[in-house]
């Protein structure tokens, strides 16, 4: 139950307190200084009580200012955000939750900040076009007014109040901030939900229960009806028992860790647009030195196909710039017939290519052509990047950019042996960056980043992660003793992507589970996320449907699909698990990664690990069926 208490303070000014006191595991409403006896309350420290508490706090958070409809934040790719916490010198739950939605930089001011502290802060914030400030605790009321004046007059700011409103009531502020949120409690839930409101993870429905000052009266509160980005909550909000789900998933992962199927992993589950489970397990390596974190970046391997290569093709098709039933050679001239060379690929269609029935061989070991007696050839490699050697295959190893021509030639020469049959191949996505560039006129990496990753706020979904992140944020993969002769960490594991400088459509992307989830949720929502339509629903439905069932080919376009007649198969033969719907889609990756979306039950599941550490010969993840056992457990818990 939510109770509003009014206390007289600062003469005739009324201080609004919206609060709940949590005593001995129970939710106890407070009337003045009198607590209702615990025995008179029905609620206990249960998931249901936790859900009720979340709902009450979410309902109480009040949006008081929203200039030019700033909240929820839009056009994330245009924002450079400073996340400021005032009254707490450590990173706060408010800041951490803001960082779930996009890259923000943390700044803190202590309670008793000095004039110099404020001056220094102003210099640091000069380059930001938005400041999101959480006011957690204020004792320095003399220095506080200049801070608020600065945020209101000199910066575009969103201010969230987590302390009592009396300070705000006594200040004579000539201008108002662009955004103002009244939360009134400094607990972790109020901070988390306020941050989610700013980015559209939740809507706004709170109303002031009493006058706060001359500017804000009883009943004030701006309403935002719907959320449009991922919400972070507990499983009970979607009807799942949190203890049961956690126990089931923990037990599967624990067995895999004990048997050393992989050193560590991340598991993320979202249902109905809500992240209900995200856990990091284990360590980066079997030496147990660096614990896994939720924001660690993993080599996605072939999950890159649906998160790197696919977005570019989706958009070009959606814009009518690619026709699925035209020859690939229309967009990739290397496959056209020439005066002295007849290509057996000249009439292969885009649809055949991306449904894996073009006849292309599964893979080609391009990298082997750069070796002499098992060692890197000086004809191709140099120790430093220069105008000629631009393709970084690993730190200290740079490949001649002309090798792209060798890759194209080897693909062109490889005969089509199985056209019309389903044979999974890396090669369609190896040439995809060139198709995207040829068709759009824009570099492939820039095309997918500017049209998808940056607008989504997915800074941790990236090629070439060492350019943006420290090594300790990136989970290592294999100790490569046959090509690059070093421990790979932040350099793509896949050799075909490596010889292309780490930027390919088949592999090369690194991601945190949370940032990958934004792209996958956009797919699940049929092309829309964060109030933006990235591609049309019709395009998403075309790419996620089975293309050639008559050829016993289960594939969509680039997306993987369940086995044909999956429900009628024996559980051991069902793929990816017996419970998924025919409408579902996803992809797996060689390093142990897996993503799957099921529109029928509005479910998203992400599993990231580094099963190839220290060697790819470890395939316990497959024999233990870890990824799909987790998926089955999720479906069982939904029932």
Euclidean distance between CA atoms 65 and 106, whole angstroms:
23
Domain 250-638 falls under CATH 3.40.710.10: yes
Q: What is the pLDDT of residues 509-554, one digit of tens each?
A: 999 999 999 999 999 999 999 999 999 999 999 999 999 999 999 9
Mean pLDDT computed over 396-401: 98
**What integer pLDDT is reported at residue 387 of this predicted model?**
97
Euclidean distance between CA atoms 183 and 572, whole angstroms:
51
Do 587 and 252 contact (CB within 8 A), yes or no? no
Share of the chain above pLDDT 70, in %: 91
Q: What is the pLDDT of residues 160-184, one digit of tens each?
A: 999 876 666 666 667 899 999 999 8
Which uninterrupted H or E stretch holds 118? helix 115-124
* Least trusted range by pLDDT, from 36-40, 267-271, 530-534, 608-612: 36-40
Mean pLDDT computed over 9-37: 34
Euclidean distance between CA atoms 317 and 564, whole angstroms:
26
Euclidean distance between CA atoms 567 and 579, whole angstroms:
8
**What integer pLDDT is reported at residue 32 of this predicted model?**
32
**What integer pLDDT is reported at residue 142 of this predicted model?**
72
More confident residue, 587 or 14: 587
What are the beta bridge partners of residue 162? none
**What integer pLDDT is reported at residue 280 of this predicted model?**
98
pTM recorded for the entire structure: 0.92
Q: What is the pLDDT of residues 46-72, one digit of tens each?
A: 989 999 999 999 999 999 999 999 999
Architecture of domain 3-227: 3-Layer(aba) Sandwich (3.40)
Q: Rounded to the nearest 5 degrees, what angle is found at the Cα of 201, between the Cα atoms of 196 and 205?
A: 80
Domain boundaries, the chain: 3-227, 250-638
pLDDT at 15 over 50: no
What are the C-alpha distances in Å from 541 to residues 261, 401, 465, 544? 35, 38, 32, 5
Do 279 and 257 contact (CB within 8 A), yes or no? no
**What integer pLDDT is reported at residue 144 of this predicted model?**
85
The region that residue 628 occupies, defined by phi over 0 for left and psi between -120 and 50 for alpha, beta otherwise, is: alpha
**Three-state SS string across 262-318, please?**
CCEEEEEEEECCEEEEEEEEEECCCCCCCECCCCCEEECHHHHHHHHHHHHHHHHHH
pLDDT at 5 over 90: no
Interhelix angle 141-149/115-124, nearest 10 degrees: 20
What are the C-alpha distances in Å from 464 to residues 76, 195, 474, 500, 504? 22, 30, 11, 12, 11
Q: What is the pLDDT of residues 192-233, one digit of tens each?
A: 999 999 999 999 999 998 888 788 899 999 999 999 999 999
Q: What DSSP letter does each residue of 143-177 carry, written as one string? A: HHHHHHHIIIIIS-EEEEE-S-THHHHH---SS--
Which uninterrupted H or E stretch holds 496? helix 495-498
Mean pLDDT computed over 8-28: 34
Q: What is the pLDDT of residues 242-289, one digit of tens each?
A: 999 999 999 999 999 999 999 999 999 999 999 999 999 999 999 999
Using a 10 angstrom Cβ sphere, with 0-12 exposed, 13-18 middle and 19 or more buried, the burial of residue 341 is exposed
Mean pLDDT computed over 116-125: 96
Please state, as a whole number, how many other Cβ atoms lie within 10 Å of the Cβ of residue 238: 18
**What integer pLDDT is reported at residue 476 of this predicted model?**
98
Do 390 and 326 contact (CB within 8 A), yes or no? no
Tell me whether domains 3-227 and 250-638 share a fold. no
**What integer pLDDT is reported at residue 461 of this predicted model?**
98
Mean pLDDT computed over 363-379: 96
Mean pLDDT of the chain: 92
Q: What is the pLDDT of residues 408-430, one digit of tens each?
A: 999 999 999 999 999 999 999 99
| Side-by-side strand order, sheet with 381-382 | 381-382, 397-400, 389-394
More confident residue, 584 or 339: 584
pLDDT at 37 over 60: no
Q: What DSSP letter does each residue of 549-585 carry, written as one string? A: GGGT----SSSB-PPTTGGGS-GGG-SS-TT--TT-E
**What integer pLDDT is reported at residue 618 of this predicted model?**
96
pLDDT at 24 over 80: no
């Amino acid at each position: 139950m939510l109770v509003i208490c009014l206390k007289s303070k600062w003469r005739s000014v009324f201080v609004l307190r919206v609060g709940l006191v949590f005593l001995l595991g129970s939710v106890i409403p407070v009337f003045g200084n009198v607590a209702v006896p615990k025995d008179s309350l029905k609620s206990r420290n249960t998931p249901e009580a936790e859900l009720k508490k979340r709902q009450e706090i979410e309902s109480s958070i009040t949006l008081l200012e929203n200039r030019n409809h700033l909240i929820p934040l839009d056009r994330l790719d245009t924002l450079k955000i400073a996340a400021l916490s005032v009254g707490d010198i450590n990173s706060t739950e408010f800041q951490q939750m803001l960082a779930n939605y996009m890259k923000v930089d943390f700044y803190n001011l202590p309670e008793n900040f000095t004039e110099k502290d404020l001056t220094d802060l102003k210099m640091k914030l000069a380059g930001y076009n938005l400041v999101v400030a959480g006011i957690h605790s204020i004792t320095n009321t003399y220095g506080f007014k200049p801070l608020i004046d600065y945020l209101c007059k000199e910066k575009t700011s969103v201010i969230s109040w987590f302390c009592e409103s009396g300070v705000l009531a006594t200040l004579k502020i000539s201008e108002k901030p662009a955004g103002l949120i009244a939360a009134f409690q400094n607990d972790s839930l109020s901070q988390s939900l306020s941050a989610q409101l700013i980015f559209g993870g939740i809507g706004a429905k709170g109303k002031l229960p009493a006058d706060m000052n001359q500017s804000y009266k009883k009943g004030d509160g701006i309403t935002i009806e719907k959320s449009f980005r991922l919400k972070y909550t507990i499983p009970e909000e979607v009807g799942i028992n949190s203890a049961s789900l956690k126990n089931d998933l923990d037990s599967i992962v624990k067995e895999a860790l004990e048997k050393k199927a992989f050193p560590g992993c991340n598991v993320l589950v979202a249902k109905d647009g809500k992240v209900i489970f995200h856990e990091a397990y284990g360590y980066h390596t079997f030496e147990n030195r660096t614990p896994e974190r939720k924001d660690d970046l993993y080599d996605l391997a072939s999950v890159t196909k649906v998160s790197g290569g696919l977005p570019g093709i989706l958009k070009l098709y959606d814009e009518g710039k690619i026709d699925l039933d035209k020859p690939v050679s229309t967009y990739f001239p290397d496959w056209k017939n020439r005066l002295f060379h007849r290509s057996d690929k000249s009439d292969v269609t885009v649809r055949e290519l991306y449904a894996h029935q073009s006849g292309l061989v599964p893979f080609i070991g391009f990298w082997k052509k750069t070796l002499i007696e098992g060692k890197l050839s000086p004809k191709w490699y140099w120790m430093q990047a220069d105008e000629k050697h631009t393709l970084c295959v690993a730190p200290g190893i740079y490949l001649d950019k002309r090798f792209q021509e060798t890759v194209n030639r080897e693909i062109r020469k490889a005969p089509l042996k199985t056209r019309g049959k389903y044979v999974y191949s890396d090669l369609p996505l190896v040439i995809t960056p060139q198709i995207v560039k040829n068709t759009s006129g824009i570099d492939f990496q820039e095309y997918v980043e500017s049209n998808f990753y940056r607008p989504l706020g997915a800074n941790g979904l990236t090629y070439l992660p060492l350019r943006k992140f420290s090594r300790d944020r990136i989970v290592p993969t294999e100790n490569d003793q046959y090509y690059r002769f070093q421990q790979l960490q932040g350099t793509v594991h896949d050799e075909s992507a490596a010889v292309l400088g780490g930027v390919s459509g088949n592999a090369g992307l690194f991601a945190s589970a949370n940032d990958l989830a934004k792209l996958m949720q956009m797919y699940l929502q049929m092309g829309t996320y964060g109030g933006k339509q990235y591609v049309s629903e019709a395009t998403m439905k075309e790419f996620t449907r089975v293309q050639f069932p008559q050829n016993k080919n289960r594939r969509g376009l680039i997306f993987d699909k369940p086995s044909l007649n999956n429900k009628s198969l024996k559980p051991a033969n069902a793929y990816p698990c017996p419970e998924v719907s025919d409408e579902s889609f996803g992809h797996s990756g060689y390093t142990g990664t897996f993503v799957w979306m099921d529109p029928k039950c509005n479910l998203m599941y992400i599993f990231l690990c580094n099963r190839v550490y220290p060697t790819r010969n470890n395939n316990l993840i497959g024999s233990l069926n870890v990824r799909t056992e987790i998926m089955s457990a999720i479906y069982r818990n939904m029932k």
